[in-house]
Amino acid sequence: MATDQPVRGAVLGLGMIGRHHARILQSDAGMRFAGAVDPGGDRFGALRDPALLFGSVHELLAASGGPPDFAVVAVPTEEHLPAVRELAAAGVHVLVEKPLAATADEAREIIDIVRDAGLHGAVGHVERCNPALLELRRRVNDGQLGEVFLVATERVGPFPDRVRDVGVVKDLATHDLDLVRWLGGGRVDRVAAQTQHRMGRAHEDLVLVTGQLEGGVAFNSVVDWLTPMKVRRTRILGERGMLVADTLRADLMFYENADVPTQGWPAMQALRGVAEGDMTRYALTRHEPLAVELQAFCALIRGEDDALVVTLEEGLETVAVAEAVLASAASGQTVVVRASA
Ligand SMILES: NC(=O)c1ccc[n+]([C@@H]2O[C@H](COP(=O)([O-])OP(=O)(O)OC[C@H]3O[C@@H](n4cnc5c(N)ncnc54)[C@H](O)[C@@H]3O)[C@@H](O)[C@H]2O)c1
């Protein structure tokens, strides 16, 4: 595909997230909107042209404009696999919403289908496109914190009354399980987790995870649907201080360790430990993460092999880690991810 040609994209599922994909596809200069499929209709009034709403993938593919170049799969997680199967059979590239699938087995099947069809696929772990996290990662990789000790995430808030098919681990904590690896620089090696069921649903609504990445960095994540305020916080602690990202506001702060001189007295330095130093809030250029994600996927299908997308293999890894988290919560044991994947 020519690099200057707009890419035609469609959306499957016009729900909480699909409507935003549709908004961007209808407004971004580098994209053309091929239509949306939702048997439930356009509940949120996302489409400018109602003629571009279709009741099935079959109708979308048969529409006068021809099949789209790619489709965003934004249907409930349990329906990702059949949707990918149908799209790939028609030669349509797929950007699949996170989590890639409801189970690691289904995620593997998606990878096989996309590879065998010779198509591009990626996963919508949109937090990786948040400006605060992009800048946090750049600073950590530049060595601002020195050695990294801990990646800690908190993602709590009220229950969004939409999720029916999975619990908080697969629906929400998959953001964190992807981020800790991406930010901490190593795959998840082991996890120990607890879950709670407080709302009377079949699936868990709170999870506490502690774990370790390959390379030794520790992480912990607190994720729930029970808290009456929304918090989205990621912090990385290292030998020179701590970087804290608030992804709701796309803010990034640096809490520096104070440089308190101990006149060449190392024993006293060790005794005093860390002291509070300066705090800096960085001014960031803020782009909408979902638009950045879609632009990167379009770049990939235009032939930019190094486009910043989350690969299907990374998406599978995250689902496998989520399964290890649930296994750990069920057994009360630490689970080694490589062994269980
Ligand atoms: N990246 C993120 O931050 C983020 C945020 C929310 C949801 N998600 C993910 O997006 C997916 C959808 O979640 P949601 O909250 O938008 O769900 P939702 O229930 O709000 O919307 C899903 C929509 O899909 C439609 N649908 C169901 N089956 C379909 C089919 N076969 N073909 C076409 N449309 C179909 C439904 O009618 C509904 O409108 C899930 O995998 C979820 O995990 C990601």
Q: Whose CA is nearest to atom 17 of ligand 1?
A: 15
Lookup: tokens for 191: 């996890």
- For residue 321, which of 246, 201, 210, 217 has the smallest C-alpha distance? 210
For residue 146, the tally of other CB atoms under 10 A from its CB is 12
Give the pLDDT of residue 276: 82
Q: What is the DSSP string of 140-198?
A: HHTTTTSSEEEEEEEEEEE--TT--SS-HIIIIIHHHHHHHHHHHTS-EEEEEEEEE--
Q: Whose CA is nearest to atom 24 of ligand 1?
A: 13
CB of 86 closer than 6 angstroms to any ligand 1 atom: no
Strand order in the sheet with 53-54: 53-54, 31-37, 7-12, 70-73, 93-97, 121-124
Centre of ligand 1 from the C-alpha of residue 280, in Å = 38
Domains in the chain (CATH in brackets) are: 7-127+290-311 (3.40.50.720), 131-287+319-340 (3.30.360.10)
Which atom, in ligand 1's list, is nearest to the CA of 166? Answer: 43
Which atom, in ligand 1's list, is nearest to the CA of 77? Answer: 41
Positions in the chain whose pLDDT score sits under 50: 340
Lookup: tokens for 253: 């702060």
Cα–Cα dist 61/126, whole Å: 27
Give the pLDDT of residue 166: 81
Does the global pTM surpass 0.85? Answer: yes
For residue 250, the tally of other CB atoms under 10 A from its CB is 20
Centre of ligand 1 from the C-alpha of residue 24, in Å = 16
Lookup: tokens for 69: 């170049």
Give the pLDDT of residue 261: 64
Pocket of ligand 1, candidates 12, 14, 17: which has the most ligand atoms within 8 Å of its Cβ, to mutate?
17
Give the pLDDT of residue 65: 85
Pocket of ligand 1, candidates 14, 16, 174, 230: which has the most ligand atoms within 8 Å of its Cβ, to mutate?
16
Give the pLDDT of residue 263: 65
CB of 98 closer than 6 angstroms to any ligand 1 atom: yes
Which atom, in ligand 1's list, is nearest to the CA of 19? Answer: 16
CB of 131 closer than 6 angstroms to any ligand 1 atom: no
Pocket of ligand 1, candidates 19, 37, 97, 125: which has the most ligand atoms within 8 Å of its Cβ, to mutate?
97
